[in-house]
Amino acid sequence: GCKGGWGMGMADSMCRMLEESGALPGSGMDKSGVTEVFVHGLPPDTLDEHLWRIFSPFGQVSPRGCYAMQGKGTGKCKGYGFVNFNSWESAQLAINSLNGFMLPGGGGTITVELKRKNSGANSQTAAASPAPTPAIMDGSAPGAGWS
């Protein structure tokens, strides 16, 4: 394990301090400086870390830029989340590669789209462009061979 007097919670404090200092790329940006992607169809055990592991290979994600929305009191993902990319191109690459991805075991399909700037109650996202069926496991997309 990690020793040396840091104790529990110090790593989180360090990350927060770095994010707030502006030392990390994308930290301190207002929402207008990021491209926000809406992800729907996530399994109930999805955490922020899972979104980061899936989406960060497509490009730079802003600090604290992955959110798997959790139900109050349940600790389970509500089935959707958001990822904030520091560039439109990275967001578009993720959308084109992952939109329509079939979850293992017949668990459904993931929808990945640009989030609308002014979303109403019934309109969360905007389709970016028609996305081809992803071919994640054949080596044609970033992160090919994930297990």
Report pLDDT for 32: 66
User: Kindly report the CA angle at 47 between 124 and 37, in degrees rounded to 5?
Assistant: 30
Residue 18 above 90 pLDDT? no
Residue 51 above 90 pLDDT? yes
Of 81, 100, 99, 87, which is closest to residue 39 (Cα–Cα)?
81
Report pLDDT for 121: 42
Report pLDDT for 122: 42
Report pLDDT for 25: 64
Q: Give residue-wise pLDDT tens across range 70-125.
A: 999 998 999 999 999 999 999 999 999 999 999 888 888 999 999 876 544 444 44
What percent of the chain shows pLDDT beyond 70?
A: 65
